[in-house]
């Protein structure tokens, strides 16, 4: 990826003197109205309009000679898909201590005395309901959109050079010398302050999508921070102070400006491209609304334009490069065949996955199949500025300023999910996840909440209640394969813990189980439900994450771990296709990791119920991890014969014995219940027994687990085996030398005497166990069972 820069031979911002001598005046600020129209302001007091389609530059207005512009910010145009009435106006701050509300045609609607000394920066919040200004007097002030003062948020002893709103418009970030300060609007809320640079901080930016902060200073460095003030990246010192920084709209890229320097960087900090234009210092950088172009305000009177080109997309044997604004080159690395894709309009976003290339331009969407690049499916877009494309095997998702749209690969609109307070401008690949049947979206207003939708209908999943976690969530991902009722979602919270849960809840709260710690990036495999992630200094692969719902003790045996210290700080998983994971290091280099192909083959055999083939594969590979995965898969699919073989192979003899005892149970319902017990699903097992009329077994399950209150509750409710529960309870207390203290048990024990004696007994469907207790304790007439009963009597 690189920047293709351009500027006029002669600057447009020139100050003319009476003797016809011209002087190039500094351009102080720039701002885009659309993806092809830019406004610039300069010390020559002119506001110029640049049309990139026609290459025309016109003067909008000449400001009074006492107004020297410093900063410009357009009123937000689209809020939740609704166009605001003030979308055609901007705020202009100036050196005379005022800010000016100016219409698109150049009419000054209002000028407001704001600060003593120059107003150094002004920014609208994301809703367009408030304006923040900062100045040389060190004050931070909040204004209404009509220019009425609401409050003075803070007073600093030094000039405040830059300011930005937090993503929720509830906090303000500003500079104070070498310090960065985040101050909430609420009066008594905690203020976050930290030393960010060794020199005065000149510029900052806070992105609403990734929640990351940029800062630039006179120490000639630019830095990336998270919203808690933790340093994520610090650049090497440049030759000159960094005078401008700006995030791209989607939060994936940012631009850095300095003297004769323009740099394009990834969100993690490393540099894609470095340009050395003859511009002087670049004092202000603005991204176009579609994120494809940059404009810079230059110290020598120029306005520099830069277009992002040579973006790359890879999938299996295909590599696609954006060679020009409207041209893509497709290369098949197997046969070195090359195809050129031409588009009518500028390419904004693209995604390559699942055998399809989806490209959005400013007006249309193109869908190509990797089998045929010559005949794309084309349809018009409702709004041209697509900010995100996500693909699943059967369909893909487009997100723009107006909403979320799910399309089939044939171009048919499938659904358009919505929820209250939805902001599409803050959604990215970490907060939205798509599978063949489910769409998951993390809520920005309450970051503990994940909304789940049916992909085909766009309606909320199940009872409509969102998935709620105890702490804020940072990243989510849905698995891609398998049945809908087995769909799982994993997420990382702000403590860097990794959790998994089922999205299908069937009217009950589903367990959220932690499967990892210190996780900062993850990805599901595209062909099987295998998960990979980076935990601290380890690259971890969960070959069968569903193991936590089957046998928690087995989970560590189903993992593959590799030392990841070689990947340096903050590596990111780019993709996980087939048996290869691609990781991007902090310096931007790509590392390809190959994992064993056998777990994916095992997944395929199990999904097709080819259990004998699965056992043969494990015997061939001779790997304990494979046997552990097979054991968990077999229990999950209720195939206890295969589970017995797998557990025996990893040496879990106690579980083998338990499985054997399950296989000997006479009724199907009883076997199913004990399989659920094996997986720890006690409530489900009890429910199954009660539905099958096996009351005694349901009671006995709770007795065996020492759930005494539940056992007595069931016995009283069904008016049977109350004395059995009391008998086992009495025996339990006597073994530990304790006395009964529960009022409920004391109440039912009145008038009931427990007599333990041996009675020959024949197993029935209702009472298949070998050890039974009623008021007269019964056991089967077998030598082994009689020995057990005698032991009990001797204890008695």
Calpha distance 261→256 (Å, rounded): 8
Calpha distance 776→526 (Å, rounded): 60
pLDDT, average across residues 488-501: 93
Model confidence at 17: pLDDT above 80:
no
For residue 670, what pLDDT band results from cuts at 50, 70 and 90?
confident
For tokens 């009066």, name the residue: 187
**Closest alpha carbon to 730 in 773, 770, 759, 694:** 773
Model confidence at 162: pLDDT above 90:
yes
For residue 446, what pLDDT band results from cuts at 50, 70 and 90?
confident
pLDDT, average across residues 633-654: 91
Model confidence at 407: pLDDT above 90:
yes
- Terminal CA-to-CA distance of the chain, rounded, Å? 81
**Is residue 25 within 8 Å of 301, Cβ to Cβ?**
yes
What's residue 130's pLDDT? 93
Q: Which residue has the higher pLDDT, 762 or 269?
A: 269
For tokens 């809703």, name the residue: 127
Calpha distance 630→603 (Å, rounded): 9
Per DSSP, 375 falls in state: E
Q: Which residue has the higher pLDDT, 594 or 794?
A: 594
314-328, 476-490, 539-553, 774-788: least confident range: 774-788
For residue 14, what pLDDT band results from cuts at 50, 70 and 90?
low
Q: Which residue has the higher pLDDT, 461 or 789?
A: 461
Calpha distance 525→649 (Å, rounded): 27
Q: Which residue has the higher pLDDT, 758 or 239?
A: 239
The tens digit of pLDDT for each residue in 291-340 reads 999 999 998 888 999 999 889 999 989 999 999 989 999 999 999 999 99
Model confidence at 785: pLDDT above 80:
no
The backbone region for 417, taken as left when phi is positive above 0, alpha when psi lies in -120 to 50, beta otherwise, is beta
What's residue 253's pLDDT? 93
The neighbouring-strand residues paired with 133 are: 122, 141
**Is residue 665 within 8 Å of 694, Cβ to Cβ?**
no
What's the burial of 17, exposed, middle or buried (CB within 10 Å: 0-12/13-18/19+)?
exposed
For 55, phi and psi rounded to 5 degrees?
60, 30
Percentage of the chain with pLDDT > 90? 54
The tens digit of pLDDT for each residue in 165-208 reads 999 889 999 999 999 999 999 888 899 999 999 999 999 999 99
Tokens of 792: 């009990």
What's residue 349's pLDDT? 93
The tens digit of pLDDT for each residue in 558-579 reads 999 999 888 877 889 999 998 9
Model confidence at 783: pLDDT above 70:
no
What's residue 660's pLDDT? 86
The tens digit of pLDDT for each residue in 84-109 reads 544 589 999 999 999 999 999 888 99
The tens digit of pLDDT for each residue in 371-395 reads 999 999 999 988 768 889 999 999 9
What's residue 425's pLDDT? 83
Model confidence at 370: pLDDT above 80:
yes
Model confidence at 792: pLDDT above 60:
no
50-59, 85-94, 653-662: least confident range: 85-94
For residue 15, what pLDDT band results from cuts at 50, 70 and 90?
low
Per DSSP, 705 falls in state: T
What's residue 78's pLDDT? 63
Task: With residue 139 as reference, give the H or E element that holds it.
Answer: strand 139-144
For all residues of the chain together, what is the average pLDDT? 86
**Is residue 490 within 8 Å of 531, Cβ to Cβ?**
yes
pLDDT, average across residues 149-176: 93
What's residue 1's pLDDT? 84
H helices, E strands: number in the chain: 12, 59
What's residue 770's pLDDT? 40
Calpha distance 89→318 (Å, rounded): 45
What's residue 385's pLDDT? 82
What's residue 772's pLDDT? 41
């Amino acid at each position: 990826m690189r920047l293709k820069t351009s500027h006029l031979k002669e600057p447009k911002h020139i100050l003319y003197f009476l003797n016809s001598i011209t002087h190039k005046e500094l351009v102080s600020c720039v701002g885009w109205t659309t993806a092809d129209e830019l406004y610039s302001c300069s010390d020559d007091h002119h506001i110029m309009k640049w049309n990139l389609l026609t290459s025309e530059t016109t003067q909008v207005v000449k400001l009074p000679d006492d107004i020297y512009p410093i900063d410009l910010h357009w009123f937000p145009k689209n809020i939740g898909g609704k166009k605001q009435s003030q979308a055609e106006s901007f705020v202009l701050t100036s050196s005379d201590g005022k800010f000016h509300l100016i219409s698109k045609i150049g009419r000054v609607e209002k000028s407001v005395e704001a600060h003593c000394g120059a107003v150094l920066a002004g920014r609208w919040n994301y809703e367009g309901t408030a304006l923040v200004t900062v100045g040389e007097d060190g004050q931070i002030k909040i204004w209404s959109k009509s220019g009425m003062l609401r409050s003075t948020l803070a007073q600093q002893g030094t000039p405040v050079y830059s300011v930005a709103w937090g993503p929720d418009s509830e906090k303000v970030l500003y500079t104070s010398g070498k310090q960065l300060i985040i101050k909430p609007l609420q009066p008594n809320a905690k203020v976050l302050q930290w030393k960010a640079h060794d020199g005065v901080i000149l510029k900052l930016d806070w992105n609403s999508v990734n929640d990351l902060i940029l800062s630039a200073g006179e120490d000639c460095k630019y830095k990336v921070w998270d919203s808690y003030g933790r340093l994520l990246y610090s650049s090497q010192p440049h030759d000159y102070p960094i005078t401008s920084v700006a995030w791209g709209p989607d939060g994936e890229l940012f631009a850095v400006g300095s003297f004769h320097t323009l740099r394009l960087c990834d969100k993690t900090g490393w540099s894609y491209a470095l340009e050395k234009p003859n511009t002087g210092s670049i004092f202000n950088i603005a991204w176009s609304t579609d994120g494809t172009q940059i404009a810079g305000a230059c110290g020598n009177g120029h306005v520099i334009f830069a277009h992002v080109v040579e973006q790359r997309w890879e999938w299996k044997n295909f590599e696609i490069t954006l060679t020009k604004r409207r041209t893509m080159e497709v290369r098949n690395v197997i046969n070195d065949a090359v195809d050129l894709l031409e588009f009518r309009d500028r390419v904004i976003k693209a995604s390559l996955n699942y055998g399809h290339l989806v490209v959005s331009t400013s007006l249309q969407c193109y869908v190509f199949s990797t089998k045929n690049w010559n005949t794309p499916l084309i349809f018009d877009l409702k709004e041209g500025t697509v900010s995100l494309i996500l693909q699943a095997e059967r369909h893909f998702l487009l997100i723009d300023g107006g909403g979320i749209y799910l399309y089939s690969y044939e171009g048919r609109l499938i659904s358009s999910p919505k929820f209250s307070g939805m902001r599409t401008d803050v959604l990215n690949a970490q907060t939205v996840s798509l599978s063949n049947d489910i769409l998951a979206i993390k809520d920005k207003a309450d970051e503990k909440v994940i909304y789940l939708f049916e992909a085909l209908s766009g309606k909320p999943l199940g009872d409509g209640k969102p998935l709620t976690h105890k702490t804020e969530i940072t990243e989510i991902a849905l698995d891609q394969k398998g049945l809908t009722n087995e769909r799982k979602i994993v997420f990382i919270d702000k403590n860097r813990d990794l959790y998994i849960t089922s999205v299908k809840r069937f009217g009950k709260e589903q367990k959220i189980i932690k499967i990892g710690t210190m996780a900062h990036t993850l990805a599901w495999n595209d062909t099987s439900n295998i998960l990979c992630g980076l935990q601290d200094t380890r690259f971890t692969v969960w070959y069968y994450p569903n193991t936590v719902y089957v046998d928690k003790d087995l989970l560590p045996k189903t993992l593959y771990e590799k030392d990841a210290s070689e990947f340096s700080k903050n590596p990111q998983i780019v993709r996980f296709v087939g048996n290869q994971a691609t990781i991007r290091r902090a310096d931007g280099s790509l590392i390809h990791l190959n994992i064993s192909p056998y777990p994916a083959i095992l997944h395929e055999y199990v999904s097709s119920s080819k259990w004998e083939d699965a056992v043969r594969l494990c015997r061939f590979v001779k790997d304990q991890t494979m046997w552990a995965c097979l054991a968990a898969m077999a229990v999950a699919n209720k195939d206890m014969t295969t589970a017995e073989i797998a557990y025996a192979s990893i040496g879990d003899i106690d579980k083998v014995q338990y499985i054997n005892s399950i296989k000997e149970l006479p009724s199907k319902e009883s076997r199913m219940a004990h399989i659920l017990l094996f997986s720890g699903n006690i409530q489900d097992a009890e429910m199954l027994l009660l539905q099958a009329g096996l009351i005694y077994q349901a009671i006995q399950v709770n007795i065996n687990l020492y759930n005494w209150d539940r056992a007595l509750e069931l016995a009283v409710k069904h008016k049977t085996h109350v004395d059995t529960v009391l008998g086992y309870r009495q025996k339990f207390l006597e073994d530990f030398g304790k006395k009964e203290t529960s009022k409920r048990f004391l109440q039912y024990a009145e008038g009931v005497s427990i007599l333990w004696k041996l009675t020959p007994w024949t197993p029935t469907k209702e009472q298949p166990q070998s050890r039974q207790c009623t008021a007269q304790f019964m056991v089967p007439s077998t030598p082994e069972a009689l020995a057990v009963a005698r032991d009990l009597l001797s204890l008695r």
